[in-house]
Amino acid sequence: MIENIDPGLVDWSRAQFALTAIYHWLFVPLTLGLSFIIAFMETIYVKTGKDEWRRLTRFWMTLFGINFAIGVATGIILEFEFGTNWSNYSWFVGDIFGAPLAIEGILAFFLESTFVAVMFFGWNKVNKKFHLLSTWLVAIGANLSALWILVANSWMQNPVGMTFNPETARNEMLNFWEVLFNPVAVDKFLHTISSGFVFASMFVMGISCWFLIKKREEIFAGRSILIAGIFGLASSLFLAFTGDSSARTISKVQPVKFAAFEALSEGKENAPLVAFGVLKESGKKIGSRDLPEFLFKIEIPDLLSVMTEGNKDAYVPGIIDRINGNPGKGIISVAEKTEKGKIAMNYLSDYKKARENKDNEQITNLLNKFKDKDFRDNYFRYFGYAYISSPEDVIPDIYGSFYSFHMMVMLGFLFILIFSLALIFLFNGTIIKQKWFLRIVLYSIPLPLIAGELGWILTEMGRQPWIIQDLMPVSVGVSNIGKASVQTTFWLFTFLFTALLITEISIMIKQIKTGPTH
């Protein structure tokens, strides 16, 4: 059914969206985390009245301001792309996507036009406590703003709380709270903001270490490391906790993605967790797809079973179970899902014919059918499978999923180590002497950002072929526009975002070299 869609158009549209999202995500995490670090510092300033803390706050606020200015509105381009390149998808998701994005837009507008202005213009003009309140509101508002985007994204990973209306060809929200408290949304929000906290902490610590290497502003640097070290350590531990919870949720709602990022071809009881591994081609296939095996791996016995089911003897299904089905474990095959999806699709086709024939009785019957809970839960939820011609088409890129997941996790543990060492060296008073460590922290600044991008690559690549899990493949969501126009805007964005990034880095480096001046 979808074999005739130009794969070039789909690939370029995906590449363009990925490029925009990846660049947008270069700016967002620092805003999310640095806003809280500034709020902590300013709170200490207001509590103690010591000018050194005011100096600290204002320096990091300057860097926050530069990042905020460069990053603001880069996300709007993603919304343009929805309407132009992904019009079928945008229409199909209806108000499920529209409502959270509208809330985010309103929140961001009020936040940016009021409290950010007080933060930057309000020193010496408003009283200390009101200024501090504004700083906290910016931090909370920026993170809440992220919530709504992540709620929308989570619905794409696990569509809940809606019903499809064949008359409008849109999904309509049935339960706002179900959409908001979608388990994927809760995990994703907490995991994403804590990854932003970790990046901001590493950023503050790295720059502070640079000051120490240069033997400048040692008291300022030490206090910055103290705040960033504590916040970074707490956030990186929380990141591991939310990551674990997130993986467990994915094992339930996106089981093929889960099996792919664990490279678990065959299901097993007492499943071990692969802490580190290298994949190679096995020659073993499912349909036309190769199922890799491990060239080398370090495993932790039983841990995957414990993490997914809380029981070391539990069976963890693999890719083969998910594709061919495993009736003994209550897993239905892709072929069965395809049959159910086709039944749902036929009802939509019947609805279209009934409209053309002006058969009002049939129209009413079919509208009621789509509202019926049993139909929604057992047929419409597999709607997208009607487009799947080969069962193995629902397997994402196993190599990409496995490596992006495992590199992200390894980096996560590295951050815990770095923050712990920083605090140990700071408390025993030897941090200035640990030149090797200061350099490691400085060069580690981009690592949390890389880990965050890997997380997004896993999230989005790992759910292929779906643009909306089980409901719509990417190739159906794309607009019928010329490939050339997508290619043109792809290169335009590459140029625009690279220019913005270079500008940000150059202004920031200049301000960092100037140091805290207030």
Partner 1 sequence: MKSLLRPLHSLFIFYVEGFRNMSSWGKRAWLIIIIKLFIIFAILKIFFFQDFLGRRYSNDAQKSEYVRNQILNPEDKDD
Structure tokens at 267: 């299901």
* Nearby residues of 205 by Cβ (< 8 Å), 6 or more positions away: 224, 225, 228, 229, 232, 418, 419, 422, 441
**Can you state the angle between helices 95-110 and 128-157, rounded to 10 degrees?**
170
Smaller CB separation from partner 1, 77 or 228? 77
- Please give, one letter per residue, the 3-state secondary structure of 439-505: HHHHHCCHHHHHHHHHHHHHHHHCCCCEEECCCEEHHHHCCCCCHHHHHHHHHHHHHHHHHHHHHHH
In this structure, which amino acid lies at residue 304? L
Q: Looking at this protein, which amino acid is placed at residue 26?
A: L
Interface stretch with partner 1, choices 254-262, 281-289, 306-314, 341-349 (CB under 8 A) = 341-349
CB of 430 to partner 1, least distance (A): 35
DSSP letters for 182-216: -HHHHHHHHHHHHHHHHHHHHHHHHHHHHHHHTT-
Tell which residue, 97, 201, 222, 216, has the closest CA to residue 150: 97
Q: Establish if 1 lies at the interface with partner 1 (CB under 8 A).
A: yes
Least Cβ distance, residue 80 to partner 1 (angstroms): 4
Q: Are strands 273-280 and 466-468 parallel, antiparallel or unpaired?
A: unpaired
Q: Which two tokens stand for residue 234?
A: 């707490």
Complex with partner 1: residue 169 or 226, whichever CB lies closer: 169
Q: Does 487 bind partner 1 (CB under 8 A)?
A: no
Binding mask 459-478 for partner 1 (x = CB under 8 A): -------------x--xx--
300: enclosing H helix or E strand: strand 293-300
User: Least distance in Å: CB of 495 to partner 1?
Assistant: 10
Minimum distance of partner 1 from residue 480's CB (angstroms): 5
Compute the least distance from the CB of residue 2 to partner 1, in Å: 5
Q: Exposed (0-12), middle (13-18) or buried (19+): which is 367, by Cβ within 10 Å?
A: middle
**Beta carbon of residue 327, minimum distance to partner 1 (angstroms, whole number):** 31
Least Å from the CB of residue 412 to partner 1: 32
Could you give the string, one character per residue 74-103, with x where binding to partner 1 holds by CB under 8 A and - elsewhere?
x-xx--xx-xxx-xx-xxx-----------
Member of 120, 176, 294, 399 binding partner 1 (CB under 8 A): 120
Assess 481 for contact with partner 1 (CB under 8 A).
yes
In this chain, which of 357, 364, 368, 488 binds partner 1, going by CB under 8 A? 488
Stretch that binds partner 1, among 153-161, 345-353, 365-373, 415-423 (CB under 8 A): 345-353
Cβ nearer to partner 1, comparing 262 with 470 = 470
Say if residues 278 and 294 touch (Cβ distance below 8 Å): yes
Residue type present at position 117: A
Quick one: which of 278, 300, 335, 492 contacts partner 1 (CB under 8 A)?
492
Q: Which of residues 47-66 bind partner 1 (CB under 8 A)?
A: 62, 65-66
Q: Is 505 in the site for partner 1 (CB under 8 A)?
A: no
* Residue pointed to by tokens 């130009």: 6
Of residues 152-171, those binding partner 1 (CB under 8 A): 166-170
Which residue stretch of 120-128, 153-161, 197-205, 263-271 sits at the interface with partner 1 (rule: CB under 8 A)?
120-128
| Residue number with CB closer to partner 1 (428 or 517) | 517
Q: How far is CA 468 from CA 157, 216, 377, 378, in A?
A: 6, 52, 16, 17
Tokens 């529209």, located at residue: 98
If binding is defined by CB under 8 A, does position 43 make contact with partner 1?
no
User: Using alpha carbons only, what angle is made at residue 274 by residues 231 and 315, rounded to the nearest 5 degrees?
Assistant: 110
Q: Which residues bind partner 1 (CB under 8 A)?
A: 1-5, 62, 65-66, 69-70, 72-74, 76-77, 80-81, 83-85, 87-88, 90-92, 117, 120-122, 125, 166-170, 345, 348-349, 352, 387, 472, 475-476, 479-481, 485, 488-489, 492, 496, 500, 503, 507, 510-511
